[in-house]
Structure 1
Amino acid sequence: MALHVVASRTDPALFRLPWSRPLAEWDDWYVVPLPLGLSRHVVRVVQVNRQFLAVKETTEELALREYELLRDLQRLDQPAVVPRGVVTGRTDLDGNPLPAALLTEHLHYSLPYRTVFQHGLRAEQVPALVDALVVLLVRLHLIGFFWGDVSLSNALFRRSAGGFAAFLVDAETGELRESVSDAMREHDLTVGVENIFAELLDLQASGDTDIDVDGQAVVAHLAEQYHSLWDELTAAEEFGTDEWSRVEQRIARLNDLGFDVDELDVQADSDRVRIQPKVVEAGHHRRELHDLTGLSAEDSQARKLLNDLAAFTAHFGYDDEDRAVVARRWLHTIYSPIVALLPDELARRIAPAEYFHEVMEHRWALSEEAGHEVDIFDAARDYVANVLPHRPPDSPSDLR
């Protein structure tokens, strides 16, 4: 049986990987020692030219199915790893069949949850990690994706403006439908509660964290946050005909959560109005920042950068100028010069938008200590010299 590669972009270097050997036997010449989450499959990260790829051994049927599902999620702009290909027809040197392999891009600046805990996650940050998984699950349910195996292990996490953003990394059990029923949503949530409780117990038993995690409180927070966010995004709301401002208030609340409302179902009778969001799309702040500046960031990071842009606008009295013109001025006089202060050897450790956010937080701390506002460029230089070298890296190249 001949080796067969199905790929979105075929790189000839893929064929030079040792496909005739089981993945578990690949040596350090090919494998990049990056932190990986727990998996029932053999998974390795390899470097192909300048690209890091995660390789997972599985059956041909499951590999092709997951590849197509991840491609669908990519087209729908969902937070999931990017599929690169499937390798089938593998045999060892004696002609014995080997498992198929699914290839996905390694998500830059992301870490599995165990590594996040190992890198000094504080107890008060655990709810933020859970909140990121809740947002991911709600986003997937909104577009009709049934996960089937919700867990911390099946996601990757990026630091995002003091919190986290979660990304689907394992879609093997997933299904994409017209919609997900309430029963299926509750099934996903129940499985998530059970898996995450077990993962937290295992985390503490293994000694991979020094903090005392209350597993019961964490999974209770997960369920509460999921229902709260789902209801905010989808529930109908009734009010009197003299309270039309509540429509704007509802939309504003959804925007604050990072969601756009493209369509509302509005029904009015003689004295009551009923509204319900029909089309809700995540990434409100991310799209706004990109439209104004061309920058790409997680939604929480984008919101922080937009806040700094607003402060810049007010400080220099640019309120009456075109917002896009002011945004480009902010980009060229504040954001880009701050990012340029990162030396090459440290620039790989942190995403630019997260670095800018952490500089702003550092500036606030320095200003509190000094009793006056510290210049943002002085704060950035101090952060690069005294904080960033000791910060756990988020980038693959620094974790090798």
Structure 2
Amino acid sequence: MVALELTAARPYPALLDLPWQLPLEEWPEEILAALPRGISRHIVRFVRVDGRVIAVKEIKDDIARREYAMLRMLRRLGQPSVEPVGVVSGRVDDDGEPLDACLLTRHLQFSLPYRAMLSQTLRPDTVQRLIDALAVLLVRLHLAGFWWGDVSLSNTLFKRNAGEFAAYLVDAETGELRNSLSDGQREHDLDIARVNIAGELMDLQAGGLVSPELDPVDVSELIMTRYRTLWAELTEAESFETGERWRVDERIRRLNELGFDVGELDITTDIGGTQIHIQPKVVDAGHHCRRLLRLTGLDVEENQARRLLNDLDSYRAATDRQNEDEDLVAHDWLTQIYEPITRAVPRDLRAKLEPAELFHEVLEHRWYMSEKAGKDVPIETAIADYVKNVLPEKPDEKAIVGADTEAIPVRARPD
């Protein structure tokens, strides 16, 4: 008899209590966490273990171990991906017949699959914003030398990010990690993305989730243009006259605005010294979130960090403290503005949005209230009105119970 084997980065003794002798599709409802699931070629279920939600994917042993190792490497490289928990292998049923292994990953709080995002009747441009987020994710992975091999909306989770979305890789089953990628490898990933996205949007139209006026092919082409624009900004060389050295700072600022930090620049001049050539050599994402983390200890998404830093800067100007130590001002903003606002939300509504996104929405709400009133509205007034009139109508995004997006009918599509 083959013994059950659990490979995990950290011990979760409660995992051993799960019914591994049953095929995943037969696990009893009482042990499952009802979270929205995207379309997957494998059986996926969510369970609660030691206060955490774990995604369990039934898959062949060798593939599960390979994907577990790949996700661990991506996490070590700081790439946006789900956190691998472990692999359970050596499973057999009550009759002694072998069962597939299971890959365990930690559920990303406040994230949703694209089908759940689009089923909430959000703004008309939601599809385009999801494509933008996927393009940023793909650029980041390619810069790290990761070839995905199955780029799609289905293999991605999305979190709200101050009005935009941040994308996280979920499925690394087909991926390969190399020192760098050739143009052909990157274009191959893009072509896979274009085909998959078009098919996924056609499925959504068949299920009545997006407007029939939307052209899936046209939208799928966006991944090509958005990706190439961002890649060029990050990697292409730029030449200018020696009297225009300010353009070095301008290039760095443009990269920062895109959420990337410049670790190294390759700056050369021509033989006559009349032209300067500049090319970013090492770039990394997270310029704003790292600054906010350093100043406040808040670990949030990049656009959220940008918005919070803007409010911090406004607070600094409003209190006439531009010449004071930035760390001290940030501490006061955190304790006097950010924390009181996020704590003003009643406990039963805190699963609606994560704190940073809530703060962003309160700032937006205050702006609309001030515009309507024709004068500045205190943030305390804005949060009270937001909690009373806006927040209760929002779905819980920390753990949405009920709707299973797998239940939405889709057209059969050949693999």
The bucket for the TM-score relative to the shorter chain is: over 0.9
- Classify the secondary structure of the residue corresponding to 1:242: helix
d(CA) in 2 for partners of 1:212, 1:159: 25
SS at match of 1:372: coil
Paired with 2:385 and 2:83, the residues of 1 have a C-alpha distance of: 36
Q: CA offsets per residue over residues 297-327 of structure 1, 9 Å max, x none?
A: 1000000000001111111111111111111
Q: Which whole-Å CA distance do the structure 1 matches of 2:399 and 2:319 have between them? A: 39
Q: Deviations over 1:71-129 (max 9, x none)?
A: 00111111000000000000001110000000000000000000000112221232111
Distance 1:290 1:70 in 2: 24
In structure 2, the residue matched to 1:152 is 153
Cα pair 1:86 1:103 within 8 Å, conserved: yes
Structure 1: state its 5+ residue gaps: none
- Percent identity reads 54
Query: Does the alignment pair 1:288 with 2:265?
Result: no
1:209 to partner: Cα distance:
3.5
Counterpart of 1:262? 263
Q: What is the aligned partner in structure 1 of residue 192 from structure 2?
A: 191
Judge conservation of contact 1:393–1:399 (CA < 8 Å) in 2: no
SS in 2 for 1:361: helix
- For the residue of structure 2 that corresponds to 1:274, the secondary structure is strand
Tell me how far apart the structure 2 counterparts of residues 361 and 206 of structure 1 sit (CA, whole Å): 33
- Residue 274 of structure 2 is matched in structure 1 by 271
Structure 1 segment 292-303 matched on structure 2, within 5 A: 292-303=295-306
1:139 maps to what in 2? 140
Deviations 1:214-246 (A, max 9, x none): 323312222111000000000011111111111
Q: Match for residue 95 of structure 1?
A: 96
User: For the residues of structure 2 that align with 1:397 and 1:127, how far apart are their CA atoms?
Assistant: 23
Residues 81 and 169, structure 1, Cα contact 8 Å, conserved in 2: yes
**Mapped partners of 1:34, 1:118: distance in 2:** 14
Compare 123-132 and 89-98 and name the one that shifted more. Answer: 123-132
- TM-score, scaled relative to structure 1: 0.98
Is structure 2 residue 52 aligned with structure 1 residue 51? yes
The question of 1:330 aligning with 2:333 is answered yes
Counterpart secondary structure, 2:125: helix
Instruction: Output the amino acid matched with 2:320.
Output: G
Provide TM-score, normalisation by structure 2. 0.95
Look up the equivalent residue of 2:289 and give its one-letter code.
R
Distance apart, 1:39 and its partner CA:
0.3
Instruction: Report the 3-state secondary structure (helix = DSSP H, G, I; strand = E; otherwise coil) of the residue aligned with 2:188.
Output: helix
CA gap of 1:298–1:64, structure 2 versus 1, over 3 A, is: same
Structure 1 counterpart of 2:70, one-letter code: L
* Correspondent of 1:309 among 312, 320, 343: 312
Shift of 1:30: 1.4
Paired residues of 1:348 and 1:398 also in contact (CA < 8 A): no
Q: What displacement does 1:399 show? A: 5.8
Tell me if structure 2 keeps the 8 A contact 1:87–1:102.
yes
| Letter paired with 2:107 | H
> In structure 2, what is the equivalent of residue 5 of structure 1?
6
Shift in CA distance, 308/347, structure 1 to aligned 2, threshold 3 Å: same
Q: Structure 1 pair 390/212, CA: closer, same or farther in 2 (3 Å)?
A: farther
Structure 2, unpaired ranges of 5+: 404-415
Partner amino acid, structure 1, of 2:354: A
SS in 2 for 1:184: helix
Q: Taking structure 1 as reference, are residues 309 and 105 closer, same or farther at Cα in structure 2, changes over 3 Å only?
A: same
- Residue correspondences, number: 400
Contact 1:264 1:277 (8 Å CA) reproduced: yes
Partner of 2:410: none
Amino acid aligned to 2:341: I
For 1:264 and 1:82, locate their aligned partners in 2 and report how far apart those are by CA, in whole Å: 32
Shift of 1:212: 4.0
Return the offset for 1:11. 1.0
Aligned partner of 2:411 in structure 1 is: none
Decide whether the 8 Å contact of 1:123 with 1:211 is kept in 2.
no
Deviation of the 1:398 alpha carbon: 5.5
Aligned to 1:164: 165
Aligned residue for 2:66?
65
The one-letter code matched in structure 2 to 1:303 is R
Secondary structure in structure 2 of the residue aligned to 1:87: strand
Indicate conservation of the 8 Å contact 1:123/1:212, yes or no.
no
8 Å CA contact 1:141, 1:180 repeated in 2: yes
Give the distance between the partners of 2:220 and 2:396, measured in 1 at CA.
28
Q: Aligned residue for 1:105? A: 106
CA RMSD of aligned residues (A): 1.2
Deviates more, 1:176-185 or 1:266-275: 266-275
3-state SS of paired residue (1:280): strand
Please show how residues 176-215 of structure 1 align to structure 2 within 5 Å: 176-209=177-210, 212-215=213-216
Asked which structure has the greater RCO (Cα within 8 Å, sep 6+), the reply is 2
Regions of 4+ moved over 6 Å: none
CA displacement 1:21-66 (0-9 Å, x = unmatched): 0000001121111101100000001111201000001111000000
Does residue 227 of the first structure (1) align with residue 244 of the second (2)?
no
Corresponding residue number in structure 2 for 1:352: 355
